[in-house]
């Protein structure tokens, strides 16, 4: 990549990191999308300055992605990255026009988020036996936290003991963009959290004393550990295709909506920045109503 393009990319990523306070995972995604575009641009059209990039070049890249079989959702993410990049440089007056003005995002077929039904969740926590060791204790607790709070995987990994408020039965979660939200939990779950923290400090001579959940070696949890745990235990109680931590987040929200929770309240609990992101769960509620109608109404 030419030095000037690399410099412009670094300035944008620094803005996202220090001003917008995006996570490292998000920064890597932005960088990969931008690098992919610039590699294509140079290979097809040669080296150029930022202000020389035309809308036709962007369309050519998007057509290449489409012909390679990339899904519309992934293409839209790349379009979003480019729009943010050029919008930043417009504001910084590095460029006077943006090549993204004529770019239209492809339509994405809406898919309802998968979730675990109530009976499967009941079986998971009432009938499934967890190992009588530290891993078993940690694995059950992380599953309970996902289902009872709807927090994201990164939020759970970074959850600190100090974020657990035993007197108020709440957990303070640090979400995307360093936004804080407070999630209430049941007294029963809070009791298990207290017991876990006490046991952790007693069992381990040396462990990560800051984070809440740790592995059997006293180390901070990592994505692979969490994903494998969720996949293993959900496979015991459900046949849905996806068995990931995010499915438990979907399950948390869907069960709340199906029980009549207010949409704005669910939005706040999930830490969504807009109501549009939360409204997808209303569709699951509607589908449940349709199913009840078909099963119960004699004329259905």
Instruction: Give catalytic residue positions.
Output: 152, 176, 246, 249, 272, 281
3-state secondary structure of 216: coil
| Sheet containing strand 180-184, strands side by side | 164-165, 170-174, 180-184
Phi first, then psi: what are they for 148, rounded to 5°? -85, -15
Phi first, then psi: what are they for 170, rounded to 5°? -135, 160
Cα dist from 50 to 8, 38, 65, 80, 98, whole Å = 8, 10, 21, 17, 10
- The strand pair at 164-165 and 170-174 is best described as antiparallel
Give the C-alpha separation, 152 to 142, whole Å: 11
- The strand pair at 164-165 and 180-184 is best described as unpaired
DSSP symbols for 77-137: HHHHHHHHHHHHHHHTTS-SS-TTTT--PPP----PPP---HHHHHHHHHTPPPPSSHHHH
Structure tokens at 12: 């944008």
CA dihedral 209, 174, 193, 113 (to 10 degrees): -130
Cα dist from 268 to 83, 173, 223, 283, whole Å = 27, 11, 25, 18
């Amino acid at each position: 990549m030419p030095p000037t393009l690399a410099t412009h990319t670094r300035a944008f990523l620094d803005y996202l990191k220090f001003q917008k306070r995006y996570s490292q995972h998000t920064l890597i995604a932005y960088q990969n999308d931008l690098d992919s575009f610039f590699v294509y641009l140079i290979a097809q059209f040669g080296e150029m300055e930022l202000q020389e990039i035309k809308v036709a070049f962007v369309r050519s890249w998007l057509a290449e992605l489409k012909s390679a079989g990339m899904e519309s959702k992934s293409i839209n993410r790349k379009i979003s990255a480019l729009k943010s990049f050029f919008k930043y440089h417009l504001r910084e007056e590095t460029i006077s026009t943006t090549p993204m003005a004529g770019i239209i995002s492809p339509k994405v077929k809406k898919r309802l988020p998968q979730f675990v039904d109530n009976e499967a969740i009941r079986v998971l926590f009432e009938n499934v036996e967890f190992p009588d060791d530290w891993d078993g204790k940690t694995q059950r607790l992380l599953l309970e936290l996902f289902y009872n709070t709807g927090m994201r995987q990164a939020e759970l990994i970074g959850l600190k003991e100090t974020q657990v408020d035993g007197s108020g039965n709440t957990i303070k979660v640090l979400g995307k963009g360093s936004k804080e939200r407070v999630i209430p939990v049941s007294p029963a779950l809070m009791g298990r959290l207290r017991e876990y923290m006490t046991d952790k400090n007693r069992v381990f001579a040396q462990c990560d004393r800051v984070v809440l959940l740790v592995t059997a070696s006293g180390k901070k949890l990592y994505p692979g550990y969490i994903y494998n745990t969720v996949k293993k235990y959900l496979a015991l109680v459900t046949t849905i295709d996806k068995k990931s931590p995010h499915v438990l987040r979907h399950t948390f929200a869907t069960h709340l909506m199906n029980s009549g929770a207010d949409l704005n309240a669910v939005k706040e609990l999930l830490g969504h920045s807009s109501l549009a992101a939360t409204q997808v769960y209303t569709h699951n509620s509607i589908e449940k109503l349709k199913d009840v109608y078909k099963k119960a109404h004699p004329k259905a």
